[in-house]
Structure 1
Amino acid sequence: MVKRIVANIRTTDFEKVKDFYQDILGLDVLMDHGWIQTLGNEEQAKVRISFAKQGGNDTEVPDLSIEVDHVDKIYDKMKAAGFEIPYELTNEDWGVRRFFVKDPFGKLINILSHQ
């Protein structure tokens, strides 16, 4: 049985990790060996992996989806920090409010809250 799935994103610039994933999204450093950092929190989540033909409403399939408590606040912080928003904040028919943002490594991130 699978216990967890961890996403791995290649980088040599951990300061960019801090700006996006720690400062704006609020993740904590759970492990740091100098060559790899693992961020997260103590929330319990189900193991999930999605496969898609498109990202919903004919958008590009995002690399990661991150559910947050207050998507509007995160959207405002991402805009203020100058991150590219390729899909604006939208209420979707399937019950989520979301936007897409490019992280510092070019990954397309779906940030969402369930409505």
Structure 2
Amino acid sequence: MTISLQYCNITVNDTDEALGFYRDALGFEVRNDVASEGFHWITLGSPAQPGLELVLSVPHAGRSQADGDTLQELLVKGVLPQLVFRTDDLDATFEKVRASGAEVMQEPIDQPWGPRDCAFRDPSGNLVRIAQAPKA
């Protein structure tokens, strides 16, 4: 038996604005855009990992008003779970994302537990870390 992650939901304030970060800065491709009741869910994928997708949506998309309000409060506080991506060239990825205007939280550093990584905030305030495996 095998099991793998199919997709991960990312809550954002504005899906179009988030595309500038996830598509243009990080290099994900739009795979689907589904609209319903005034909301839409944008599915992105990576050419490097064809089976894994990210789904961007706003806090109230498909949720009750109360749940959407709570999720919006958490998003504004910047306390939703962080996202961690992996790259084979951290320095080049860092420069590309920084050039997009994303807020830099941490420049590339070697972590004591092994990887070299950096961190950004996406346009909605989600913490996004990008790591490169340590050299053998």
- Please indicate the TM-score interval, normalised by the length of the shorter structure: 0.7 to 0.9
SS for the counterpart of 1:76 is helix
Q: Which structure 2 residues correspond to residues 1-115 of structure 1 after superposition, within 5 A?
A: 3-4=4-5, 6-11=7-12, 13-34=14-35, 35-42=40-47, 43=49, 63-115=82-134
* Distance in 2 (alpha carbons) for counterparts of 1:102 and 1:2: 30
Cα displacement (A) at 1:4: 2.0
Choose 1 or 2 for highest CA Rg.
2
Cα displacement (A) at 1:100: 0.9
SS for the counterpart of 1:106 is coil
CA contact (8 A) 2:14 2:124 kept: no
Cα displacement (A) at 1:30: 1.9
* Distance in 1 (alpha carbons) for counterparts of 2:51 and 2:115: 18
Residues 62 and 93 of structure 1, relative CA distance in 2, 3 Å threshold: farther
The structure carrying a bigger strand percent of its residues is 2
Residues 33 and 62 of structure 1, relative CA distance in 2, 3 Å threshold: closer
Question: Among the aligned pairs, what percent are the same residue?
Answer: 29
Name stretches of at least 5 consecutive residues in structure 2 with no aligned partner: 53-78
CA contact (8 A) 1:62 1:110 kept: no
1:108 alignment partner AA = L
Cα displacement (A) at 1:2: 5.1
Cα displacement (A) at 1:32: 1.4
* Distance in 2 (alpha carbons) for counterparts of 1:9 and 1:61: 9
* Distance in 2 (alpha carbons) for counterparts of 1:61 and 1:17: 15
2:132 alignment partner AA = S
Residues 63 and 114 of structure 1, relative CA distance in 2, 3 Å threshold: same
Cα displacement (A) at 1:86: 1.6
Show the counterpart of 1:50.
Answer: none
Q: TM-score, normalised by structure 2?
A: 0.63
SS for the counterpart of 1:109 is strand
SS for the counterpart of 2:9 is coil
1:9-42 CA-to-partner distances (Å, cap 9, x unmatched) read 2335232222111111111112211310111125
CA contact (8 A) 1:62 1:109 kept: no
